[in-house]
């Protein structure tokens, strides 16, 4: 007689059946070790390790500090929503790629190609000078960003990998921006009516009102909701602003080692502060601490 296995429900969101099987096992036995899970699903240890890495990268699980490592499943509703947002972003990116190819084949009036480092730097400067309401930025653009006064608001999303040094993090945090893993492209949007899109070294496509511009705006909004704030909310509560900053970095998926490097402190300091945060929030895992901090508005 064959054993019953539930039909997969996350396949449409890019989760393979084996990843989902391990996720369901983790839902049944939260805070299991890799050894526990291997016994539960009857897999060899190397296969469990491979699929655990996949669950971590998909945001379907988190790893607790200490040894042996234990794994906590993401809340299904939140996990599915995040996967759906990523899927939508991937669809938008695919449409964007098709539109760029079309622009290269038959360039409409809404597209202008700018070539050469000097011309591109000047255009980025001019675009920000002309901004009246809002400037949106994806990743660190290869040209210095001018902070325009006159009440123009900036919203920036940095790729985690671009914040390699403590000074980078301080500079980014001062702008009130957000942080995300694997930002798909570099982009500057001005007043939701124009965009500068680097497509190759020393080549930028400038876009006016068009379906492609609409797609880029939609992509930015999707990524903004996925990104983690670098400037935590300064609300009263059990966490200091430094604690909130550390939790924000952890929520973005950084390891203790990566957090220590970005903050310019020792890894042991990060681990000690994280343990104090867990106690302050009466939480046993980082995942639980993040949920409770979010519910209290400490990471908004």
pLDDT in tens, 166-176: 555 555 555 55
Triad 223, 187, 184: Cα angle to 5°: 50
Confidence of residue 18 (pLDDT cuts 50, 70, 90): very high
Instruction: Say what angle helices 267-280 and 241-251 make with each other, to 10 degrees.
Output: 100
Tokens found for residue 213: 């511009």
Are 254 and 262 within 8 A, CB to CB? yes
Q: Phi first, then psi: what are they for 193, rounded to 5°?
A: -130, -5
Q: Residue with structure tokens 């202008």?
A: 112
145 vs 64, which has greater pLDDT?
64
Residue corresponding to tokens 């929030």: 281
Considering only CA atoms, which of 265, 257, 246, 258 is closest in space to residue 173?
Answer: 246
Torsion on CA atoms 218, 219, 224, 226, rounded to nearest 10: 120
**Residue 146's pLDDT is what?**
56
The pLDDT confidence band at residue 22, using thresholds 50, 70 and 90, is: very high
Residue 237 DSSP SS3? coil
Residue 255 confidence (pLDDT)? 82
Q: Which of 248, 247, 225, 244 is closest to 235 using CA atoms?
A: 244
Q: What is the mean pLDDT of the chain?
A: 79
What pTM did the predictor assign? 0.45
Cα dihedral 187→188→189→190 (10° resolution) = -170
Give one word for 228, left, alpha or beta, with left for phi > 0 and alpha for psi -120 to 50: beta
Number of other residues whose CB lies within 10 A of the CB of residue 13: 16
Instruction: Tell me whether strands 178-180 and 187-190 are parallel, antiparallel or unpaired.
Output: unpaired
């Amino acid at each position: 007689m064959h054993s019953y296995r539930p039909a997969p429900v996350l396949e449409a969101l890019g989760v393979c059946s084996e990843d989902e099987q391990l996720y369901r096992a983790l839902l049944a036995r939260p805070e299991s070790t890799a050894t526990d899970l291997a016994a539960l699903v009857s897999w060899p240890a190397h296969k469990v390790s491979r699929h655990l890495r996949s669950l971590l990268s998909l945001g379907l699980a988190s790893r607790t500090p200490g040894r042996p490592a234990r794994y906590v499943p993401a809340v299904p509703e939140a996990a599915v929503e995040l996967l759906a947002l990523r899927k939508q972003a991937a669809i938008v990116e695919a449409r964007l790629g098709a539109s760029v190819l079309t622009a290269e084949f038959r360039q409409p009036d809404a597209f202008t190609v700018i070539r050469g480092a000097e011309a591109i730097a000047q255009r980025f400067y001019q675009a920000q000078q002309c901004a009246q309401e809002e400037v949106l930025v994806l990743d660190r653009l290869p040209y210095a960003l001018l902070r325009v006064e006159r009440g123009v608001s900036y919203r920036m999303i940095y790729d985690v990998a671009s914040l390699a040094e403590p000074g980078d993090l301080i500079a980014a945090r001062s702008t009130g921006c957000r942080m995300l893993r694997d930002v798909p492209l570099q982009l500057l949007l001005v007043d939701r009516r124009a965009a500068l899109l680097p497509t190759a070294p020393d080549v930028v496509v400038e876009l006016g009102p068009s379906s492609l511009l609409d797609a880029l705006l939609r992509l930015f909004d999707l990524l903004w909701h996925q990104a983690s704030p670098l400037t935590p909310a300064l609300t009263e509560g059990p966490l200091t602003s430094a604690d909130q900053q550390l939790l924000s970095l952890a929520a973005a998926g950084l390891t203790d080692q990566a957090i220590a490097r970005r903050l310019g402190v020792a890894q042991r300091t990060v681990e000690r502060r994280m343990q104090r945060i867990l106690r302050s929030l009466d939480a046993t895992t980082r995942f639980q601490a993040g949920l409770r901090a979010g519910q209290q508005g400490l990471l908004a």
